[in-house]
Amino acid sequence: MDVVTDLISWIFLGLGIFLGLTGAFGLLRFPDFYTRVHAASISDTLCTACFIFGLAFQSGFNLVTAKLFIILILLWLTGPAASHALVRAAHTAGLKPITENSD
Amino acid sequence: MELLVNISLLFMLSLTVIAVVRLKSLFAIVMLFGIYSLLSAMIFIALDAVDVAFTEAAVGAGISTVLMLATLVTTGRWEKKSSRSSFLPLLIVSITGAALVWGTLDMPEYGNPDNPAHHHVADRYIEQSPEEIGIPNMVTSVLASYRGFDTLGEVIVVFTALIGVLSLLQVRTPPSVAETPLRNENRKLSRPYPVLQVVALVMMPFIILFALYVQFHGDFGPGGGFQAGVIFAVAFILYTLTYGLDDALALTPVSVLKALAAGGVLIYGGTGVVSMLLGGNFLDYNVLSSNPVSGQHIGIIVIELGVGITVASVLICAFYAFMTRALPDQGQKG
């Protein structure tokens, strides 16, 4: 394993961990439903992307990397769609987002 | 390391159970049951039981969550307050639990290779199945060939469940052909869920392709008819959820699904009858071909197909039955 690719891989993995933690904190700390979904959707998309890039650098050019990228495409399709469905359902059910003049 | 993973999974499982008991929102409880199934699937993977894990993830976390949610729409989302005292139930549960724990003391030592469970028939399956059946996934050869009778029973149970659901809940008849063009026009004007519909349309071919892969690759890797049927059903459930029940009923009419559900059982049982007609025992695949091993391959593929067809059509049909109850007025609106 080349030192440079290892380093890049670990940078991506570290970024993924950071974004995952950000998403978790946001989910717990944000004031209303919509901002919480926003936080959770970060760990759905960018966080998993960072993990998969990091793992791809770990494995090099082979079948595993190809599979990892297929997983990434799948997650990028379904994750935002799920967040969208969640927010849309909440909006249809009449949940109002917090705005500047709501209090 | 493996011990750590096991302990943390078991800990999360217990937390989920406690949350399920304490929560009053049925919606959250259904979601927690999904998490529970996913955690059990992970435990099965840690135990190297990938086929079981696959089934648990597909059925427990996938289909049953959807069916429970469809039920919730009709029943309401909050648990009713019980006015009875919980002392007597607690006593009974504690005594039963203590008796069960006491019963485990008589069980053979955990993980001991000399346990009867590892020597009753397992030795023979492990040693003989490469020669007798010749397929790499031993789980499939046990499930479909050595234990073909049991699996036939399971398929019939699934089929009977459909009969039960259909006799309790009625599925709405599909919209007549005459009104379809007008409805198509309406739909073009107001696509209710554009993003979800496009994503569902993109995902569906891949889900079905994956189901077919799981179906026919079950001899070589984890998978088989039960898992493939569930994944197949999920594709159509996704379609129903995004495009509406009427479109889905037009796509897969209930009469066809009923025929397919019965047909799958018929394929399975018919394979047994054919092997009897060819001079073997019921579900003895050796006689299906001149070479016993390739006869086993043919038999396993055919009965797995029967299982897949029955499971998929039963689940789709049961889902339609639940959705008919959940959305009784959708036909008038759309």
| A78–B203 CB contact, under 8 Å | yes
Chains A, B: CB pairs < 8 Å: 15
**Does B196 reach chain A within 8 Å, measured CB to CB?**
yes
Domains of chain B: 1-103 (1.20.120.1200), 137-334 (no CATH)
Output the CA–CA distances (angstroms, integers) from residue A25 to A19, A21, A40, B196, in the order listed: 10, 6, 9, 28
pLDDT average, residue stretch A71-95: 89
Closest residue in chain A to residue B202, using alpha carbons only: A77
Instruction: State yes or no: pLDDT of B332 exceeds 60.
Output: no
Residue from B199, B203, B237, B238 to probe the interface with A (highest A Cβ count within 10 Å): B199
Each residue of B242-281: pLDDT tens digit? Answer: 888 888 888 888 899 999 999 999 999 999 999 999 888 8
| B193–A78 CB contact, under 8 Å | no
Question: Exposed/middle/buried for B112, CB within 10 Å: 0-12, 13-18, 19+?
Answer: exposed
| A77–B196 CB contact, under 8 Å | no
The reported pLDDT for the residue numbered B286 is: 86
Q: How confident is the model at residue B123 (pLDDT cuts 50, 70, 90)?
A: confident
Each residue of B186-203: pLDDT tens digit? Answer: 555 455 778 888 899 899
Percentage of residues in chain B having pLDDT higher than 90? 40
* Tokens 């030795």, residue located: B123
| A84–B196 CB contact, under 8 Å | yes
Contact list in B for residue A88 (CB cut-off 8 A) is 193, 196
* d(CA A19, nearest CA chain B) in Å: 23
Query: CA neighbours within 13 Å on the CB side: how many for B32?
Result: 18
Each residue of B12-54: pLDDT tens digit? Answer: 999 999 999 898 899 999 999 999 999 999 999 998 888 999 9
Instruction: State yes or no: pLDDT of B11 exceeds 60.
Output: yes
Contact list in B for residue A85 (CB cut-off 8 A) is 193, 196
Query: CA neighbours within 13 Å on the CB side: how many for B304?
Result: 27
DSSP chain A: --HHHHHHHHHHHHHHHHHHHHHHHHHHH-SSHHHHHHHHHHIIIIIHHHHHHHHHHHH-SSHHHHHHHHHHHHHHHHHHHHHHHHHHHHHHTTPPPP-TT--
| B203–A88 CB contact, under 8 Å | no
Instruction: State yes or no: pLDDT of B64 exceeds 70.
Output: yes
* d(CA B196, nearest CA chain A) in Å: 6
Each residue of A19-48: pLDDT tens digit? Answer: 999 999 999 999 888 999 989 888 888 999
Q: How confident is the model at residue B179 (pLDDT cuts 50, 70, 90)?
A: low
Instruction: State yes or no: pLDDT of B314 exceeds 50.
Output: yes
| B193–A88 CB contact, under 8 Å | yes
Contact list in A for residue B206 (CB cut-off 8 A) is 74
Three-state DSSP string of chain B: CHHHHHHHHHHHHHHHHHHHHHCCEHHHHHHHHHHHHHHHHHHHHHCCCHHHHHHHHHHHHHHHHHHHHHHHHHHCCECCCCCCCCHHHHHHHHHHHHHHHHHHCCCCCCCCCCCHHHCCCHHHHHHHHHHHCCCCCHHHHHHHHHCHHHHHHHHHHHHHHHHHHHHHCCCCCCCCHHHHHHHHHHHHHCCCCHHHHHHHHHHHHHHHHHHHHHHHCCCCCCCCHHHHHHHHHHHHHHHHHHHCHHHHHHHCCHHHHHHHHHHHHHHHHHHHHHHHHCCCCCCCHHHHCCCHHHHHHHHHHHHHHHHHHHHHHHHHHHHHHHHHHHCCCHHHHC
The reported pLDDT for the residue numbered B214 is: 92
pLDDT average, residue stretch A80-87: 90
Distance CA B90, CA A98 (A): 44
Instruction: State yes or no: pLDDT of A49 exceeds 60.
Output: yes
Distance CA B200, CA B270 (A): 36
Q: Contact at 8 Å (CB) between B324 and B254?
A: no
Q: How confident is the model at residue B140 (pLDDT cuts 50, 70, 90)?
A: confident
Distance CA A59, CA A67 (A): 11
Q: How confident is the model at residue B183 (pLDDT cuts 50, 70, 90)?
A: low
The reported pLDDT for the residue numbered B189 is: 45
Percentage of residues in chain B having pLDDT higher than 70? 91
Q: Contact at 8 Å (CB) between B264 and B306?
A: yes
Tokens of B163: 């009969």
Structural domain spans, chain A: 3-92
φ, ψ (nearest 5 deg) of residue B316: -60, -45
Specify the higher pLDDT residue, B58 or B131. B58
| B199–A88 CB contact, under 8 Å | no
The reported pLDDT for the residue numbered B334 is: 37
Contact list in B for residue A77 (CB cut-off 8 A) is 199, 202-203
Q: Contact at 8 Å (CB) between A72 and A81?
A: no
Averaged pLDDT score across all residues of chain B? 86
User: Which residues is B78 bridged to in the sheet?
Assistant: B25
pLDDT average, residue stretch B91-117: 88
Instruction: State yes or no: pLDDT of B217 exceeds 60.
Output: yes
Averaged pLDDT score across all residues of chain A? 88
The reported pLDDT for the residue numbered B331 is: 46
Residue from A76, A84, A86, A92 to probe the interface with B (highest B Cβ count within 10 Å): A84
Query: CA neighbours within 13 Å on the CB side: how many for A91?
Result: 9
Question: Exposed/middle/buried for A28, CB within 10 Å: 0-12, 13-18, 19+?
Answer: exposed
φ, ψ (nearest 5 deg) of residue B25: -80, 115
Torsion over CA of A13, A15, A19 and A20, rounded to 10 degrees?
20
Instruction: State yes or no: pLDDT of A78 exceeds 80.
Output: yes
Instruction: State yes or no: pLDDT of A66 exceeds 80.
Output: yes
**Does B203 reach chain A within 8 Å, measured CB to CB?**
yes
